[in-house]
Structure 1
Amino acid sequence: MLKKLHLSFRSIIIAIIDSFYPLFKGIMPLQTYRYAACGGGNQVLNILVYFVSYNFVLKKQVLHLPHIAISPHIAAWLIAFFVTFPIGFYLNFAVVFNGSYLKKRIQLFRYFTVVVICILLNYVFMKLFVEQFNWYPTISFIATNVLVTVFSYLTQRNFSFKQKKIENTI
């Protein structure tokens, strides 16, 4: 039952995304397009969740938890992350990089490793942009996402969901 649901959901997502591919066919390969479409949609959701969390949920106030206080821009980032991480993994695994020869548990471990690095990069860039450069948090979040997304795509494609290279035979 769950596998059928996964295949149906995957097919629907691919059909919707690929229906716009002819517009981009001349400028990028299908996999890059799918990554851009899935990642772009997830990033829009990420930014929206961040904005709403920062401005309306946290009301730009420090989040006080037992034994720790989290600045509002970092707390909003964490909220956005916990919403979009599972969506991003599913889209990468099922839609973008579905041809990997690696075992699923290896893909998951590698994906998690890259995500941990991305978390650290997000934290460092947010701290740097907001607290050192005094940029507005939402602008800092967008700049951070651009930098981390480029890193993430390259590592996910070449490490987490690695595919065998096809040798050119002449």
Structure 2
Amino acid sequence: MRLADWIIRAIDLFYLRPVAAFVPRQVFRYAVCGGANVVFGWGCYFLIYNFLIDKQLVDLGFVAVSAHVAAMLVTFPFTFFAGFWLNRYVAFRRSPIPSGTQLFRYLLSVAGSVVVNYVCLKFFVEYCAIWATPSQMLATCVTTVYSFFAAKYFTFRHAEAE
């Protein structure tokens, strides 16, 4: 049995009433996959911000990047590929769109998510004076709404519910 099948079976164990009466199975799987990827991203962000970057300004020679933004950028590849895999093989597995097209569309939708996340992170950290990790968590909540609609109606459009 493939890893995706194991994950689906584990997720579906929790697809019970009253949730099952109101939330379609595909949306539930997306929410669980997205939630797992978010928690994974938060953990990566915390470790990278606090230990790799050590809360210091990152000077690239041609531009200086604040620690909270640098941590977001370093975390990105990990959450990008984990998120694509979970969406493709767990949440929207019956999409008729070829995987290469899905990956490109996912890249475009994630680029939009990065912009939304960046704007929110800058706002929460620099204008609201909230610590970087909680700011990233708040930014993620805003970004999640955008991300779901992009996945459902653009990246994995026409995916049949299982």
Q: Same fold (TM over 0.5)?
A: yes
**Does structure 1 conserve the Cα–Cα contact (< 8 Å) formed by 2:95 and 2:160?**
no
- Which consecutive unaligned segments of at least 5 residues does structure 1 have? 1-6
The equivalent of 1:73 in structure 2 is 68
Task: Name the structure, 1 or 2, with higher relative contact order (CA <8 Å, separation 6+).
Answer: 2
The equivalent of 2:7 in structure 1 is 13
Aligned length: 160
The equivalent of 2:23 in structure 1 is 28
Question: What amino acid is aligned across from residue 15 of structure 1 in structure 2?
Answer: R
Query: In structure 2, how many angstroms separate the alpha carbons of the residues matched to 1:164 and 1:92?
Result: 11
Q: Deviations over 1:138-162 (max 9, x none)?
A: 1211111001111000111011100
Larger mean Cα displacement after TM superposition, 42-51 or 98-107: 98-107
1:67 deviates by 2.3
Question: What amino acid is aligned across from residue 34 of structure 1 in structure 2?
Answer: R
User: Alignment identity in percent?
Assistant: 38
1:61 deviates by 0.7
The equivalent of 1:121 in structure 2 is 116
Query: In structure 1, how many angstroms separate the alpha carbons of the residues matched to 2:23 and 2:52?
Result: 39
Q: Deviations over 1:30-89 (max 9, x none)?
A: 111101110001101111111121122222111222322211000111122121110000
1:41-52 equivalences under 5 Å are: 41-52=36-47
Question: What amino acid is aligned across from residue 80 of structure 1 in structure 2?
Answer: T
Query: In structure 1, how many angstroms separate the alpha carbons of the residues matched to 2:115 and 2:97?
Result: 25
Question: What amino acid is aligned across from residue 70 of structure 1 in structure 2?
Answer: V
1:100 deviates by 1.4
Give the alignment's Cα RMSD to 1 decimal: 1.8
Question: What amino acid is aligned across from residue 10 of structure 1 in structure 2?
Answer: A
Q: Deviations over 1:98-148 (max 9, x none)?
A: 121222222222111111111111111111111122221112111110011
Rg (Cα) greater in structure: 1
Question: What amino acid is aligned across from residue 9 of structure 2 in structure 1?
Answer: A
Larger mean Cα displacement after TM superposition, 41-50 or 12-21: 12-21
Using structure 2 for the length normalisation, give the TM-score: 0.90
1:86-125 equivalences under 5 Å are: 86-125=81-120
Residue 159 of structure 1 pairs with residue 157 of structure 2: no
Question: What amino acid is aligned across from residue 139 of structure 1 in structure 2?
Answer: P
Query: In structure 2, how many angstroms separate the alpha carbons of the residues matched to 1:119 and 1:153?
Result: 14
